[in-house]
Amino acid sequence: MFICFVASASSGCYKDKTTPPNDCDVIVSYSLEIKPIINSSCVTNLGPGTGCHDAWIFDYPQVVSSINSGTFEYECLTVSTMPQIPNDFGIDSLTVDEKKSIKCWIEQGYPEN
């Protein structure tokens, strides 16, 4: 009888638990979230050699190429060199939320949405 009580009590404890939500449950939009992050965090409009690589920023296919090569994720999330800090352009580091959005967008297959 004690074993039955323990078994029913323990299963009751797990019955109401839910799996925590995945950090990337919400679809991230390239046009509404990612492109504005890129535009505000790296675009200097001053061209190559200015601390930001403007050439690959303005065109979605070039962003995808950078993702496929591993450069985008590495620079944005791993070593955090996008944007280059310090810089003379008044550009701040990416926030935790911005990095999370980029990470989720990449994990979601980086759709052009």
pLDDT in tens, 9-60: 444 444 445 544 567 999 999 999 999 988 888 766 665 555 555 555 667 8
Note the maximum CA span of the chain.
78
Contact 102, 37 (CB under 8 A): yes
Residue 88 in this model has a pLDDT that exceeds 50: yes
